[in-house]
Amino acid sequence: MVPFKRRKLVCSAAGSHTGATGSHEGATGSHEGATGSHEGTRFPQVVLFLLERKMGASRRRFLSQLGEKKGFQVEQLLSERVTHVICENNSSEEVRTWLRSEVGGQTAAHLLDVSWFTESMKAGRPVEVLDRHKLQEQQTEEVEVFSTPSYACQRRTTLDNHNAVLTDALSLLAENAELSGEDGRGVAFRRAAAALKALPLPVTRLTQLGGVPCLGGHSLRVIKDVLESGASPEVEALRRSERFKALKVLTGIFGVGVKTAGRWIGEGILTLRQLRDSGPTLNRAQRAGLRHYDDLNRPVGRAEAAAVAAVVEAAAGSVLPGARVTLIGGFRRGKQTGHDVDFLITHPEEGREAGLMPKLVSWLDSQGFLLYQKTNSNSYLEAAEGPARPASNMDRFERCFSVFKLPEEAGRGGAGAGGEGGPRPWRAVRVDLVVSPVSQFAFALLGWTGSKLFERELRRWAGHEMNMCLSSHALYDHRQSRYLRASSEEEIFAHLGLEYIPPSERNA
Ligand code: UTP
Ligand code: MN
Protein backbone atom coordinates (compact mmCIF):
# COMPACT_ATOMS: atom_id res chain seq x y z
CA MET A 1 0.00 0.00 0.00
CA VAL A 2 2.57 2.53 1.05
CA PRO A 3 5.13 1.66 -1.63
CA PHE A 4 2.45 1.88 -4.28
CA LYS A 5 1.33 5.30 -3.11
CA ARG A 6 4.91 6.48 -2.88
CA ARG A 7 5.69 5.34 -6.38
CA LYS A 8 2.90 7.47 -7.77
CA LEU A 9 4.00 10.38 -5.72
CA VAL A 10 7.62 10.16 -6.81
CA CYS A 11 6.59 10.15 -10.44
CA SER A 12 4.48 13.25 -10.17
CA ALA A 13 6.88 15.02 -7.84
CA ALA A 14 9.82 14.51 -10.13
CA GLY A 15 7.84 15.36 -13.20
CA SER A 16 6.06 18.47 -12.06
CA HIS A 17 8.41 19.75 -9.40
CA THR A 18 5.70 19.89 -6.76
CA GLY A 19 8.06 17.91 -4.64
CA ALA A 20 8.04 19.65 -1.26
CA THR A 21 5.29 17.62 0.28
CA GLY A 22 6.25 14.49 -1.57
CA SER A 23 9.76 14.59 -0.27
CA HIS A 24 8.57 14.67 3.30
CA GLU A 25 6.37 11.69 2.79
CA GLY A 26 9.32 10.01 1.14
CA ALA A 27 11.42 10.89 4.14
CA THR A 28 9.09 9.38 6.65
CA GLY A 29 8.56 6.38 4.46
CA SER A 30 12.21 5.67 3.89
CA HIS A 31 12.77 3.84 7.14
CA GLU A 32 10.16 1.36 6.17
CA GLY A 33 12.11 0.48 3.00
CA ALA A 34 11.92 -2.97 1.46
CA THR A 35 14.77 -4.35 3.51
CA GLY A 36 13.18 -3.02 6.65
CA SER A 37 16.51 -2.12 8.16
CA HIS A 38 16.64 0.67 10.71
CA GLU A 39 20.39 0.92 10.97
CA GLY A 40 20.78 3.40 8.10
CA THR A 41 21.16 6.56 10.10
CA ARG A 42 24.87 7.02 10.72
CA PHE A 43 25.22 9.49 7.81
CA PRO A 44 22.06 11.62 7.76
CA GLN A 45 23.46 13.78 4.92
CA VAL A 46 23.77 10.82 2.57
CA VAL A 47 20.84 8.97 1.00
CA LEU A 48 21.67 6.30 -1.56
CA PHE A 49 19.68 4.93 -4.42
CA LEU A 50 21.07 1.98 -6.36
CA LEU A 51 20.03 1.79 -9.98
CA GLU A 52 18.96 -1.69 -10.96
CA ARG A 53 19.50 -1.11 -14.66
CA LYS A 54 22.49 -3.23 -15.78
CA MET A 55 23.38 -3.90 -12.13
CA GLY A 56 20.73 -6.58 -11.84
CA ALA A 57 18.17 -7.17 -9.09
CA SER A 58 20.17 -9.63 -7.00
CA ARG A 59 23.36 -7.60 -6.96
CA ARG A 60 21.33 -4.53 -6.16
CA ARG A 61 19.73 -6.32 -3.22
CA PHE A 62 23.11 -7.52 -2.00
CA LEU A 63 24.72 -4.07 -2.24
CA SER A 64 21.72 -2.41 -0.61
CA GLN A 65 21.98 -4.72 2.37
CA LEU A 66 25.71 -4.16 2.55
CA GLY A 67 25.17 -0.40 2.56
CA GLU A 68 22.60 -0.54 5.30
CA LYS A 69 24.79 -2.79 7.37
CA LYS A 70 27.49 -0.15 7.21
CA GLY A 71 25.03 2.45 8.43
CA PHE A 72 23.99 4.10 5.16
CA GLN A 73 20.43 5.09 4.28
CA VAL A 74 19.42 3.23 1.13
CA GLU A 75 16.21 4.18 -0.65
CA GLN A 76 14.41 1.65 -2.79
CA LEU A 77 12.63 4.29 -4.81
CA LEU A 78 14.03 7.46 -6.21
CA SER A 79 12.86 10.51 -4.33
CA GLU A 80 14.12 14.01 -3.80
CA ARG A 81 15.79 12.86 -0.60
CA VAL A 82 18.27 10.82 -2.61
CA THR A 83 21.70 12.44 -2.68
CA HIS A 84 23.77 9.71 -4.38
CA VAL A 85 22.58 7.55 -7.29
CA ILE A 86 24.84 4.51 -7.63
CA CYS A 87 25.12 2.96 -11.09
CA GLU A 88 27.05 0.19 -12.71
CA ASN A 89 28.06 0.15 -16.37
CA ASN A 90 25.89 3.13 -17.28
CA SER A 91 26.81 6.43 -18.84
CA SER A 92 25.30 9.57 -17.36
CA GLU A 93 23.29 10.01 -20.55
CA GLU A 94 21.80 6.52 -20.17
CA VAL A 95 20.94 7.22 -16.57
CA ARG A 96 19.32 10.53 -17.37
CA THR A 97 17.30 8.92 -20.15
CA TRP A 98 16.24 6.19 -17.78
CA LEU A 99 15.26 8.72 -15.14
CA ARG A 100 13.18 10.59 -17.68
CA SER A 101 11.41 7.52 -18.99
CA GLU A 102 11.00 5.54 -15.77
CA VAL A 103 10.50 8.25 -13.23
CA GLY A 104 9.39 11.03 -15.49
CA GLY A 105 11.90 13.54 -14.19
CA GLN A 106 15.39 14.38 -13.16
CA THR A 107 17.39 14.45 -9.97
CA ALA A 108 19.93 16.77 -8.47
CA ALA A 109 21.72 13.83 -6.85
CA HIS A 110 25.29 12.80 -7.73
CA LEU A 111 25.30 10.22 -10.52
CA LEU A 112 28.07 7.91 -9.41
CA ASP A 113 29.79 4.81 -10.51
CA VAL A 114 29.68 1.84 -8.18
CA SER A 115 33.37 2.48 -7.43
CA TRP A 116 32.32 5.30 -5.08
CA PHE A 117 30.05 2.86 -3.28
CA THR A 118 32.64 0.12 -2.86
CA GLU A 119 35.30 2.60 -1.70
CA SER A 120 32.85 4.00 0.82
CA MET A 121 32.04 0.50 2.06
CA LYS A 122 35.74 -0.17 2.52
CA ALA A 123 36.22 3.14 4.28
CA GLY A 124 33.15 2.59 6.43
CA ARG A 125 31.97 6.10 5.61
CA PRO A 126 30.95 8.09 2.52
CA VAL A 127 34.21 8.99 0.72
CA GLU A 128 34.60 12.31 -1.02
CA VAL A 129 33.08 12.40 -4.50
CA LEU A 130 35.95 12.72 -6.97
CA ASP A 131 35.78 13.23 -10.72
CA ARG A 132 36.67 9.62 -11.38
CA HIS A 133 33.58 8.52 -9.45
CA LYS A 134 31.23 10.57 -11.57
CA LEU A 135 29.52 9.00 -14.55
CA GLN A 136 31.21 9.92 -17.81
CA GLU A 137 29.33 12.41 -19.92
CA GLN A 138 28.88 10.88 -23.33
CA GLN A 139 30.47 12.85 -26.17
CA THR A 140 27.14 13.93 -27.57
CA GLU A 141 28.15 17.55 -28.10
CA GLU A 142 25.77 19.42 -30.34
CA VAL A 143 27.26 19.09 -33.80
CA GLU A 144 26.69 22.20 -35.78
CA VAL A 145 26.12 21.79 -39.50
CA PHE A 146 28.09 24.53 -41.22
CA SER A 147 27.14 26.44 -44.29
CA THR A 148 28.91 29.29 -46.03
CA PRO A 149 28.48 31.18 -49.33
CA SER A 150 30.23 29.70 -52.32
CA TYR A 151 32.50 32.57 -53.43
CA ALA A 152 35.38 33.45 -51.10
CA CYS A 153 34.68 37.14 -51.75
CA GLN A 154 31.25 36.71 -50.12
CA ARG A 155 32.83 35.41 -46.92
CA ARG A 156 34.77 36.97 -44.08
CA THR A 157 37.96 35.02 -43.58
CA THR A 158 40.16 36.21 -40.74
CA LEU A 159 43.59 34.84 -39.85
CA ASP A 160 41.86 32.93 -37.06
CA ASN A 161 41.72 29.56 -38.79
CA HIS A 162 39.90 26.95 -36.67
CA ASN A 163 40.62 24.17 -39.12
CA ALA A 164 44.34 24.53 -39.75
CA VAL A 165 44.96 20.77 -39.63
CA LEU A 166 42.51 20.27 -42.48
CA THR A 167 43.49 23.34 -44.49
CA ASP A 168 47.21 22.56 -44.16
CA ALA A 169 46.59 19.14 -45.69
CA LEU A 170 44.52 20.57 -48.54
CA SER A 171 46.98 23.42 -49.12
CA LEU A 172 49.81 20.95 -49.48
CA LEU A 173 47.85 19.10 -52.17
CA ALA A 174 47.15 22.45 -53.84
CA GLU A 175 50.82 23.34 -53.73
CA ASN A 176 51.78 20.01 -55.22
CA ALA A 177 49.25 20.39 -58.03
CA GLU A 178 50.57 23.89 -58.78
CA LEU A 179 54.16 22.67 -58.67
CA SER A 180 53.21 19.93 -61.11
CA GLY A 181 51.62 22.36 -63.55
CA GLU A 182 48.07 21.19 -62.75
CA ASP A 183 46.60 24.58 -62.00
CA GLY A 184 42.96 23.46 -62.22
CA ARG A 185 43.46 20.88 -59.51
CA GLY A 186 45.43 23.40 -57.50
CA VAL A 187 42.55 25.88 -57.55
CA ALA A 188 40.07 23.16 -56.54
CA PHE A 189 42.12 22.33 -53.43
CA ARG A 190 42.66 26.05 -52.67
CA ARG A 191 38.90 26.64 -52.84
CA ALA A 192 38.21 23.69 -50.57
CA ALA A 193 40.78 24.92 -48.04
CA ALA A 194 39.37 28.46 -48.22
CA ALA A 195 35.83 27.26 -47.52
CA LEU A 196 37.07 25.53 -44.34
CA LYS A 197 39.06 28.60 -43.27
CA ALA A 198 35.82 30.57 -43.10
CA LEU A 199 34.13 28.23 -40.59
CA PRO A 200 33.59 29.59 -37.08
CA LEU A 201 34.57 26.35 -35.28
CA PRO A 202 36.68 23.25 -35.78
CA VAL A 203 35.02 20.56 -37.85
CA THR A 204 34.78 17.26 -35.98
CA ARG A 205 32.58 15.21 -38.29
CA LEU A 206 32.09 14.91 -42.00
CA THR A 207 28.33 15.29 -41.54
CA GLN A 208 28.87 18.91 -40.48
CA LEU A 209 30.01 19.81 -43.98
CA GLY A 210 26.65 19.51 -45.71
CA GLY A 211 26.38 23.23 -46.39
CA VAL A 212 30.04 23.90 -47.18
CA PRO A 213 30.72 24.58 -50.88
CA CYS A 214 33.72 23.67 -53.04
CA LEU A 215 34.40 20.29 -51.41
CA GLY A 216 34.99 17.74 -54.16
CA GLY A 217 35.34 14.00 -53.67
CA HIS A 218 39.09 14.15 -53.36
CA SER A 219 39.04 16.92 -50.76
CA LEU A 220 36.32 15.13 -48.77
CA ARG A 221 38.39 11.95 -48.74
CA VAL A 222 41.36 13.84 -47.32
CA ILE A 223 39.15 15.57 -44.74
CA LYS A 224 37.66 12.22 -43.72
CA ASP A 225 41.12 10.68 -43.25
CA VAL A 226 42.31 13.60 -41.14
CA LEU A 227 39.16 13.63 -38.99
CA GLU A 228 39.26 9.89 -38.42
CA SER A 229 42.95 9.24 -37.94
CA GLY A 230 44.60 12.62 -37.56
CA ALA A 231 46.40 12.52 -40.89
CA SER A 232 45.88 11.74 -44.56
CA PRO A 233 48.12 8.95 -45.91
CA GLU A 234 48.18 10.69 -49.29
CA VAL A 235 49.36 13.98 -47.78
CA GLU A 236 51.95 12.29 -45.57
CA ALA A 237 53.32 10.34 -48.54
CA LEU A 238 53.50 13.57 -50.53
CA ARG A 239 55.37 15.33 -47.71
CA ARG A 240 57.99 12.57 -47.85
CA SER A 241 58.19 12.30 -51.63
CA GLU A 242 61.57 13.14 -53.16
CA ARG A 243 59.99 14.89 -56.12
CA PHE A 244 57.85 17.16 -53.96
CA LYS A 245 60.77 18.02 -51.70
CA ALA A 246 62.93 18.80 -54.72
CA LEU A 247 60.22 20.98 -56.30
CA LYS A 248 59.92 22.93 -53.03
CA VAL A 249 63.66 23.45 -52.71
CA LEU A 250 64.20 24.47 -56.32
CA THR A 251 61.16 26.76 -56.67
CA GLY A 252 62.25 28.23 -53.34
CA ILE A 253 64.99 29.92 -55.37
CA PHE A 254 63.83 33.41 -56.36
CA GLY A 255 63.56 33.45 -60.17
CA VAL A 256 62.95 29.71 -60.54
CA GLY A 257 59.47 28.73 -61.65
CA VAL A 258 57.69 25.43 -61.95
CA LYS A 259 58.89 24.72 -65.49
CA THR A 260 62.56 25.30 -64.75
CA ALA A 261 62.42 23.23 -61.56
CA GLY A 262 60.67 20.41 -63.41
CA ARG A 263 63.31 20.45 -66.12
CA TRP A 264 66.16 20.33 -63.59
CA ILE A 265 64.54 17.44 -61.74
CA GLY A 266 64.29 15.64 -65.07
CA GLU A 267 68.07 16.14 -65.38
CA GLY A 268 68.60 14.62 -61.93
CA ILE A 269 69.07 17.91 -60.04
CA LEU A 270 67.19 17.57 -56.74
CA THR A 271 69.16 19.69 -54.31
CA LEU A 272 70.90 23.06 -54.12
CA ARG A 273 74.26 21.30 -53.94
CA GLN A 274 73.53 19.34 -57.12
CA LEU A 275 72.42 22.58 -58.75
CA ARG A 276 75.62 24.37 -57.76
CA ASP A 277 77.77 21.42 -58.84
CA SER A 278 76.18 20.60 -62.15
CA GLY A 279 75.89 24.26 -63.04
CA PRO A 280 73.10 24.79 -65.54
CA THR A 281 73.17 28.35 -66.79
CA LEU A 282 71.34 30.61 -64.37
CA ASN A 283 69.86 33.98 -65.23
CA ARG A 284 70.50 37.11 -63.17
CA ALA A 285 67.43 36.66 -60.92
CA GLN A 286 68.26 33.01 -60.26
CA ARG A 287 71.87 33.84 -59.40
CA ALA A 288 70.64 36.39 -56.85
CA GLY A 289 68.08 33.87 -55.61
CA LEU A 290 70.68 31.18 -55.08
CA ARG A 291 73.15 33.59 -53.46
CA HIS A 292 70.55 34.78 -50.92
CA TYR A 293 68.66 31.49 -50.65
CA ASP A 294 68.59 31.23 -46.85
CA ASP A 295 67.60 34.85 -46.26
CA LEU A 296 64.88 34.75 -48.89
CA ASN A 297 63.39 31.58 -47.43
CA ARG A 298 63.32 33.03 -43.93
CA PRO A 299 59.94 34.71 -43.23
CA VAL A 300 59.94 38.49 -43.10
CA GLY A 301 58.52 39.84 -39.84
CA ARG A 302 56.31 42.91 -39.33
CA ALA A 303 59.16 44.94 -37.83
CA GLU A 304 61.29 44.18 -40.88
CA ALA A 305 58.39 45.12 -43.15
CA ALA A 306 58.12 48.42 -41.28
CA ALA A 307 61.85 49.00 -41.72
CA VAL A 308 61.53 48.39 -45.47
CA ALA A 309 58.52 50.73 -45.54
CA ALA A 310 60.62 53.49 -43.96
CA VAL A 311 63.25 53.09 -46.68
CA VAL A 312 60.68 53.09 -49.50
CA GLU A 313 58.95 56.15 -48.06
CA ALA A 314 62.26 57.99 -47.83
CA ALA A 315 63.01 57.07 -51.44
CA ALA A 316 59.57 58.09 -52.74
CA GLY A 317 59.56 61.32 -50.73
CA SER A 318 62.95 62.21 -52.06
CA VAL A 319 62.34 61.59 -55.79
CA LEU A 320 58.65 62.67 -55.90
CA PRO A 321 57.47 64.83 -53.01
CA GLY A 322 53.83 64.08 -52.20
CA ALA A 323 54.05 60.47 -53.41
CA ARG A 324 51.99 58.06 -51.28
CA VAL A 325 53.35 54.68 -50.25
CA THR A 326 50.91 51.95 -49.11
CA LEU A 327 51.82 48.57 -47.66
CA ILE A 328 49.86 45.91 -49.55
CA GLY A 329 49.90 42.09 -49.77
CA GLY A 330 49.69 39.88 -46.73
CA PHE A 331 50.91 42.54 -44.28
CA ARG A 332 47.92 44.74 -45.17
CA ARG A 333 45.70 41.77 -44.32
CA GLY A 334 47.28 41.67 -40.86
CA LYS A 335 49.69 38.77 -41.33
CA GLN A 336 52.61 38.71 -38.90
CA THR A 337 55.06 37.34 -41.49
CA GLY A 338 55.37 37.22 -45.25
CA HIS A 339 57.59 35.84 -47.98
CA ASP A 340 58.11 39.38 -49.26
CA VAL A 341 57.00 42.97 -48.65
CA ASP A 342 54.69 44.59 -51.21
CA PHE A 343 54.13 48.33 -51.76
CA LEU A 344 51.80 50.35 -53.92
CA ILE A 345 52.94 53.86 -54.75
CA THR A 346 50.90 56.65 -56.28
CA HIS A 347 50.66 60.45 -56.39
CA PRO A 348 47.42 62.35 -55.74
CA GLU A 349 47.89 64.29 -58.99
CA GLU A 350 47.17 62.06 -61.99
CA GLY A 351 50.21 61.78 -64.25
CA ARG A 352 52.79 62.87 -61.69
CA GLU A 353 53.56 59.19 -61.04
CA ALA A 354 54.79 58.70 -64.62
CA GLY A 355 58.46 57.80 -64.71
CA LEU A 356 58.57 57.41 -60.95
CA MET A 357 59.81 53.83 -60.83
CA PRO A 358 63.21 54.34 -62.52
CA LYS A 359 63.93 57.31 -60.26
CA LEU A 360 62.90 55.35 -57.20
CA VAL A 361 65.07 52.43 -58.18
CA SER A 362 68.12 54.53 -58.88
CA TRP A 363 67.74 56.34 -55.54
CA LEU A 364 67.51 52.98 -53.71
CA ASP A 365 70.46 51.65 -55.67
CA SER A 366 72.60 54.70 -55.01
CA GLN A 367 71.93 54.35 -51.27
CA GLY A 368 73.06 50.72 -51.37
CA PHE A 369 69.64 49.18 -50.65
CA LEU A 370 69.37 46.96 -53.72
CA LEU A 371 70.93 43.54 -54.17
CA TYR A 372 68.80 42.87 -57.26
CA GLN A 373 66.04 44.59 -59.21
CA LYS A 374 64.08 44.14 -62.40
CA THR A 375 61.58 46.74 -63.54
CA ASN A 376 58.66 46.39 -65.94
CA SER A 377 56.93 49.40 -67.37
CA ASN A 378 53.21 50.14 -67.31
CA SER A 379 51.55 48.96 -70.48
CA TYR A 380 47.94 49.26 -69.40
CA LEU A 381 45.65 51.39 -71.49
CA GLU A 382 41.88 51.33 -71.43
CA ALA A 383 40.52 50.31 -74.82
CA ALA A 384 37.44 52.12 -76.04
CA GLU A 385 35.73 48.79 -76.77
CA GLY A 386 36.58 47.37 -73.35
CA PRO A 387 39.19 44.87 -72.26
CA ALA A 388 39.94 42.44 -75.06
CA ARG A 389 40.56 39.59 -72.63
CA PRO A 390 40.70 39.42 -68.87
CA ALA A 391 43.65 41.65 -68.10
CA SER A 392 46.56 39.68 -66.78
CA ASN A 393 47.17 41.37 -63.47
CA MET A 394 50.75 40.29 -63.78
CA ASP A 395 52.75 42.77 -65.73
CA ARG A 396 50.85 45.84 -66.84
CA PHE A 397 51.87 48.13 -64.03
CA GLU A 398 55.15 49.83 -63.53
CA ARG A 399 56.44 47.14 -61.30
CA CYS A 400 59.77 46.33 -59.71
CA PHE A 401 60.76 42.91 -58.36
CA SER A 402 63.68 43.45 -56.06
CA VAL A 403 65.86 42.06 -53.36
CA PHE A 404 66.60 44.62 -50.65
CA LYS A 405 69.72 44.73 -48.51
CA LEU A 406 68.06 45.56 -45.21
CA PRO A 407 70.31 46.66 -42.35
CA GLU A 408 69.69 44.52 -39.26
CA GLU A 409 69.00 46.86 -36.39
CA ALA A 410 69.67 45.81 -32.83
CA GLY A 411 66.52 44.49 -31.26
CA ARG A 412 64.87 43.59 -34.55
CA GLY A 413 64.63 39.80 -34.60
CA GLY A 414 67.61 39.11 -36.83
CA ALA A 415 69.38 36.58 -34.65
CA GLY A 416 68.91 33.85 -37.22
CA ALA A 417 70.92 35.65 -39.85
CA GLY A 418 74.39 35.27 -38.49
CA GLY A 419 76.38 32.10 -38.60
CA GLU A 420 79.19 32.48 -36.11
CA GLY A 421 79.64 35.63 -34.09
CA GLY A 422 76.08 36.95 -33.83
CA PRO A 423 73.81 38.57 -36.35
CA ARG A 424 75.10 39.84 -39.67
CA PRO A 425 74.74 43.55 -40.26
CA TRP A 426 72.06 43.02 -42.94
CA ARG A 427 69.68 40.50 -44.45
CA ALA A 428 68.21 40.09 -47.94
CA VAL A 429 64.45 40.70 -48.26
CA ARG A 430 62.20 40.30 -51.31
CA VAL A 431 60.39 43.56 -52.01
CA ASP A 432 57.78 44.21 -54.71
CA LEU A 433 57.05 47.79 -55.74
CA VAL A 434 54.07 48.77 -57.86
CA VAL A 435 53.33 52.26 -59.15
CA SER A 436 49.79 53.16 -60.17
CA PRO A 437 48.14 56.34 -61.46
CA VAL A 438 45.75 57.64 -58.83
CA SER A 439 42.78 56.96 -61.14
CA GLN A 440 43.54 53.23 -60.90
CA PHE A 441 44.67 53.29 -57.28
CA ALA A 442 41.56 51.69 -55.74
CA PHE A 443 41.67 48.83 -58.26
CA ALA A 444 45.38 48.34 -57.69
CA LEU A 445 44.93 48.41 -53.92
CA LEU A 446 42.14 45.83 -54.09
CA GLY A 447 44.06 43.69 -56.59
CA TRP A 448 47.33 43.62 -54.66
CA THR A 449 46.03 43.13 -51.15
CA GLY A 450 45.12 39.51 -51.79
CA SER A 451 44.86 36.83 -50.77
CA LYS A 452 45.49 35.28 -54.14
CA LEU A 453 42.40 33.12 -53.83
CA PHE A 454 40.29 36.08 -52.70
CA GLU A 455 41.40 37.97 -55.84
CA ARG A 456 40.67 35.03 -58.07
CA GLU A 457 37.22 34.69 -56.57
CA LEU A 458 36.51 38.40 -56.96
CA ARG A 459 37.28 38.14 -60.68
CA ARG A 460 35.24 34.95 -61.01
CA TRP A 461 32.32 36.62 -59.23
CA ALA A 462 32.60 39.68 -61.47
CA GLY A 463 32.59 37.57 -64.63
CA HIS A 464 30.07 34.84 -63.76
CA GLU A 465 27.62 36.72 -61.59
CA MET A 466 27.84 40.33 -62.82
CA ASN A 467 28.98 40.06 -66.45
CA MET A 468 31.83 42.41 -65.58
CA CYS A 469 35.57 42.21 -65.99
CA LEU A 470 37.70 43.13 -62.97
CA SER A 471 41.44 43.68 -63.05
CA SER A 472 43.94 45.54 -60.90
CA HIS A 473 43.43 48.51 -63.23
CA ALA A 474 39.73 48.79 -63.89
CA LEU A 475 36.23 47.33 -63.78
CA TYR A 476 34.41 46.97 -67.08
CA ASP A 477 30.65 46.37 -67.23
CA HIS A 478 29.79 44.33 -70.34
CA ARG A 479 26.06 44.99 -70.00
CA GLN A 480 26.52 48.74 -70.04
CA SER A 481 29.61 48.55 -72.26
CA ARG A 482 31.52 50.98 -70.07
CA TYR A 483 34.17 51.22 -67.38
CA LEU A 484 32.93 51.78 -63.82
CA ARG A 485 35.00 54.35 -61.89
CA ALA A 486 35.94 53.95 -58.25
CA SER A 487 38.13 55.88 -55.87
CA SER A 488 37.89 53.42 -52.98
CA GLU A 489 37.71 49.68 -52.44
CA GLU A 490 34.25 50.16 -50.90
CA GLU A 491 32.96 51.55 -54.21
CA ILE A 492 34.33 48.57 -56.13
CA PHE A 493 32.59 46.10 -53.81
CA ALA A 494 29.41 48.14 -54.26
CA HIS A 495 29.73 48.05 -58.09
CA LEU A 496 30.12 44.28 -57.79
CA GLY A 497 27.01 43.95 -55.61
CA LEU A 498 29.11 42.58 -52.76
CA GLU A 499 29.17 43.45 -49.08
CA TYR A 500 32.42 45.27 -48.26
CA ILE A 501 35.06 42.94 -46.83
CA PRO A 502 37.97 44.71 -45.07
CA PRO A 503 41.55 43.51 -45.73
CA SER A 504 41.79 41.62 -42.42
CA GLU A 505 38.88 39.45 -43.56
CA ARG A 506 40.27 38.65 -47.00
CA ASN A 507 42.54 35.87 -45.75
CA ALA A 508 40.85 33.21 -47.87
P1 UTP B 1 52.08 37.88 -52.67
O2 UTP B 1 52.51 36.76 -53.56
O3 UTP B 1 53.15 38.75 -52.13
O4 UTP B 1 51.21 37.22 -51.52
O5 UTP B 1 51.04 38.72 -53.49
P6 UTP B 1 50.93 37.70 -50.05
O7 UTP B 1 49.49 37.55 -49.86
O8 UTP B 1 51.52 39.04 -49.79
O9 UTP B 1 51.60 36.61 -49.19
P10 UTP B 1 53.12 36.50 -48.68
O11 UTP B 1 53.02 36.69 -47.23
O12 UTP B 1 53.93 37.56 -49.34
O13 UTP B 1 53.55 35.14 -49.05
C14 UTP B 1 50.34 39.79 -52.94
C15 UTP B 1 49.17 40.13 -53.78
O16 UTP B 1 49.58 40.63 -55.03
C17 UTP B 1 48.87 40.03 -56.06
C18 UTP B 1 48.34 38.74 -55.56
O19 UTP B 1 47.05 38.51 -56.06
C20 UTP B 1 48.31 38.92 -54.07
O21 UTP B 1 47.00 39.24 -53.74
N22 UTP B 1 49.77 39.78 -57.18
C23 UTP B 1 50.94 39.19 -56.95
C24 UTP B 1 49.40 40.13 -58.41
O25 UTP B 1 48.32 40.69 -58.61
N26 UTP B 1 50.22 39.88 -59.46
C27 UTP B 1 51.41 39.27 -59.27
O28 UTP B 1 52.14 39.05 -60.24
C29 UTP B 1 51.78 38.93 -57.99
MN1 MN C 1 53.56 39.51 -50.22
Report which of 234, 237, 240, 264 is spatially closest to residue 252, judged by C-alpha positions.
264
pLDDT digits 0-9 by tens, 440-485? 999 999 999 999 999 999 999 999 999 999 999 999 999 999 999 9
pLDDT reported for residue 217: 96
Q: How close is the Cα of 263 to the center of ligand 2, in Å?
A: 27
Q: What is the dihedral of CA 50, 53, 57, 63, to 10 degrees?
A: -30
Q: How close is the Cα of 330 to the center of ligand 1, in Å?
A: 7
Handedness of CA 113, 119, 121, 126 (dihedral sign): negative
Q: Whose CA is nearest to atom 1 of ligand 1?
A: 329
Q: In CATH, what class is 249-291?
A: mainly alpha
- Given CATH 3.40.50.10190, say whether it is the number of domain 4-138: yes
- Active-site residue 342, yes or no? yes
Q: Is the pLDDT of residue 393 over 70?
A: no
Predicted confidence band of residue 54 (pLDDT cuts 50, 70, 90) = confident
Ligand 1 pocket test: pick from 342, 451, 501 the residue with the most ligand atoms within 8 Å of its Cβ: 342
Q: How close is the Cα of 451 to the center of ligand 1, in Å?
A: 7
In single-letter form, the type of residue at position 246 comes to A
pLDDT reported for residue 279: 77
Q: Which residues are annotated as a binding site for Mg(2+)?
A: 340, 342, 432
Predicted confidence band of residue 103 (pLDDT cuts 50, 70, 90) = low
Domain range summary for the chain, segments of one domain joined by +:
4-138, 152-240, 249-291, 300-380+395-416+424-504
Q: How close is the Cα of 404 to the center of ligand 2, in Å?
A: 14
Q: Whose CA is nearest to atom 23 of ligand 1?
A: 448
pLDDT digits 0-9 by tens, 257-280? 999 999 999 999 999 999 999 877
For residue 449, the ligand 1 atom closest to its alpha carbon is: 21
CATH topology of domain 300-380+395-416+424-504: Beta Polymerase; domain 2 (3.30.460)
Cβ(457) – ligand 1 distance below 6 Å: no
Q: Is the pLDDT of residue 412 over 70?
A: no
Cβ(339) – ligand 1 distance below 6 Å: yes
Handedness of CA 164, 165, 171, 175 (dihedral sign): positive
- Which residue in the list 277, 342, 395, 477 is annotated as catalytic? 342
Count the alpha carbons within 13 Å of 284 in the hemisphere toward its beta carbon.
7
Q: Do domains 152-240 and 249-291 have the same CATH topology?
A: yes
Predicted confidence band of residue 311 (pLDDT cuts 50, 70, 90) = very high
- Which residue in the list 168, 183, 277, 432 is annotated as catalytic? 432
Q: Helices marked H in 397-469 — which ranges?
A: 441-449, 452-466
Cβ(503) – ligand 1 distance below 6 Å: no
What lies within 8 Å, CB to CB, of 2 at 6+ separation is 29, 32
Q: How close is the Cα of 493 to the center of ligand 2, in Å?
A: 22
Predicted confidence band of residue 499 (pLDDT cuts 50, 70, 90) = very high
pLDDT reported for residue 38: 52
| Average pLDDT, rounded, for the chain | 87
Q: Whose CA is nearest to atom 27 of ligand 1?
A: 394
- Reported pTM: 0.73
Average of per-residue pLDDT across 122-151? 86
The ligand with the least distance to the CA atom of 330 is: 1
For residue 342, the ligand 1 atom closest to its alpha carbon is: 3
> Which superfamily does 152-240 belong to?
DNA polymerase beta, N-terminal domain-like (1.10.150.110)
Distance CA 111, CA 109 (A): 6
